[in-house]
């Protein structure tokens, strides 16, 4: 059984990489094994997917996880999927909201400086992603949500 688990982990590690060209339907990979081995392989893949899920790759890995439902207890997969989606969805929302807040603050600051110099206009475009405020905010948000995601991975949430 160890050899099957090892092969499954190697496959998942290749699947997780950005340049993977294969299908997101991991069911096809699992179906290549004998019927009695499939739940073991699917379980190993599931554990590895959850272990490797992060705030940037969660959508793709959850799509792969969903494709394994036929080989595993649907409620356990769905439960983990829902918890990861909730945390990652909140992360995306918080990041978007923070982006808008920082953008508005930077634009207001820039307009005030220009106004003091006698310059006016509405065509102000700030580089939010290049600002230190954005970098600091993203670091804080990611630290918070990575902590929550790690707790889900360990089964604490």
Model confidence at 18, in pLDDT bands (50, 70, 90)?
Answer: low
pLDDT tens string 128-152 = 999 999 999 999 999 999 999 999 8
DSSP 42-61: HHHHHHHHHHH--TTTHHHH
Domain boundary assignment for the chain: 1-72, 74-157
Nearest to 89 by CA among 49, 62, 65: 62
Give residue-wise pLDDT tens across range 84-103.
999 999 999 999 999 999 99
pTM: 0.79
Identify the H or E element spanning 76: helix 74-116
């Amino acid at each position: 059984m160890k050899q099957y688990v090892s092969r499954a982990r190697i496959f998942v590690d290749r699947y997780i990489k950005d340049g993977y060209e294969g299908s997101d339907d991991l069911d096809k990979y699992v179906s290549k094994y004998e019927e009695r081995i499939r739940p073991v392989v699917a379980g190993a893949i599931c554990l590895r997917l959850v272990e490797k899920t992060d705030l940037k790759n969660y959508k793709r890995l959850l799509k792969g996880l969903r494709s394994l439902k036929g080989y595993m207890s649907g409620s356990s997969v769905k439960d983990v999927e829902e918890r990861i989606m909730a945390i990652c969805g909140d992360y995306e929302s918080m990041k978007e909201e923070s982006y808008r807040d920082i953008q508005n603050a930077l634009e207001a600051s820039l307009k005030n400086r220009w106004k003091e110099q006698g310059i006016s206009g509405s065509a102000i475009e700030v580089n939010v992603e290049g600002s230190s405020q954005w970098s600091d905010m993203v670091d804080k948000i990611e630290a918070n949500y990575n902590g929550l995601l790690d707790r889900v991975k360990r089964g604490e949430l």
